[in-house]
Amino acid sequence: MDRLNIRFIAPIATVFAFVGAIGLAVAPEEASAQIAKNVAAQSPWGPADEIGTLNMMTDDSRFGILKQVAGGKVYDLGVDLFGGMPICCGAFGDPTFQIFLTHAPSRGDPAKELLSYSGDGVTMYTHTGTHIDALNHFGLHGKIWNEVSAADDLGVRGWTKSGVDKYPPIVARGVLIDVAKSKSMVHLPSSYAITVADLKDALKKQATTLQPGDVVLIRTGLMTLWPDQSKYKLLDEAGLSLEAAQWLVEGQKAMLLGGDNLGVESLPSPNPDNFVPVHSYLLVEKGVSIMEAMWLEDLSKDQVYEFLFIASPLKFRGGTASPIRPLAISIRK
């Protein structure tokens, strides 16, 4: 783990420290010490748990939300994957998205080629495009969710615990909190930290209430900048404050959080010792997974705030993330 820290964590921390030094940070820091304990938590679902709050889903809860579907229109919440697309972590040395042909038709005389064959390959960082972060993505003091230790469960090809391969298909009630629309903004300002009051105000204007086990999606409006890499970027994004994240998962019992930005939380961090305090709080201390770079513009346009949410990661063994193509279908209130 020491080698991993030196190789990966130190460069990332350096990048965020630099960004903070040039004065981009705007989020307050005061309540973070009381909210985050900075220690990996034990799971209330037992020592074998690897999926955290996704345990809140049951056959009954899935069937219950499926019965509420109000129509056949399907909202696609995923973005296209293509060469040159915005990515979160190129500054940290992670690979860009590349797709290339491995086999192609000859383009010669079609009369001489009865059958043509095309195939392609892909290279990418698993945290590319619309994706879900697994609970092994971040740790605190060498341990991930459920006090799983890197010394015990980190192999040469990755984690043996809490990878995306362990995640079930997600079928649950989804709620959009359109913070940008509630403020009459195209998108929130750079590094804006969404407050609890912002969330409550948006929910009130939408006439929407949260329920335990919800998938809660936060719209900052930043997808209006997609796919401009110079504008849609990680290091100065608007997003959730730690206090707002706590209100959603502890106060409202949200099961899963997602956003239309690259990192869900406001960046850069107000905490000089932790460049992603919302990530570590959610993943390591609360067992709440995170979805990022979600396309929420169509839901916002049609003012669909409550819906059936369906998504499932690819089964990358031990993977810290996976691309997803989430779907939403309006439900009866």
Q: What per-residue confidence (pLDDT) applies to 33?
A: 55
Among candidate residues 156, 188, 198, 327, the one with its CA nearest the CA of residue 267: 188
CA 317 from chain center: how many Å? 19
* pTM > 0.85: yes or no: yes
Euclidean distance between CA atoms 77 and 73, whole angstroms: 13
List the single range of 6-10, 43-47, 128-132, 172-176 with lowest mean pLDDT. 6-10
Q: What is the pLDDT averaged over residues 183-206?
A: 98
pLDDT digits 0-9 by tens, 99-136: 999 999 988 888 888 899 999 999 999 999 999 999 99
pLDDT number for residue 333: 81
Per-residue confidence (pLDDT) for residue 247, from 0 to 100: 98
Q: Which among 110, 145, 150, 113 is positioned nearest to 2, based on CA atoms? A: 150
When pLDDT is averaged across residues 251-265 and rounded to a whole number, the result is: 98
Mean pLDDT of the chain: 92
Rounded to an integer, the average pLDDT of 1-16 is 42
* pLDDT at 218 (0 to 100): 99
222 closest CA partner among 283, 178, 277: 178
Q: Distance (Å, rounded) from C-alpha 303 to C-alpha 305? A: 6
**Structure confidence at residue 34 (pLDDT):** 83
Please name which of 201, 233, 198, 219 lies closest in space to residue 27, comparing C-alpha atoms. Answer: 198
- Give CA–CA dist 269/17, Å, rounded: 9
Q: Domain locations in the chain? A: 2-93+122-331
pLDDT reported for residue 106: 86
Q: What is the pLDDT of residues 196-234, one digit of tens each?
A: 999 999 999 999 999 999 999 999 999 999 999 999 999
Q: Give tens-digit pLDDT for 54-109.
A: 999 999 999 999 999 999 999 999 999 999 999 999 989 999 999 999 999 988 88
Span 141-151, pLDDT tens digits: 999 999 999 99
CATH code: domain 2-93+122-331 is 3.50.30.50
Task: Give the pLDDT of residue 12.
Answer: 46
What pLDDT was estimated at residue 234?
A: 96
Q: How far is CA 237 from the centre of its chain?
A: 14
Token pair belonging to 322: 């996976």
* pLDDT at position 157: 92
Residue 112 has what pLDDT? 84
Q: Which residues contact 109 (CB under 8 A, 6 or more apart)?
A: none
Give the model confidence (pLDDT) of 275-331 as tens digits.
Answer: 999 999 999 999 999 999 999 999 999 999 999 999 999 999 999 999 999 999 999
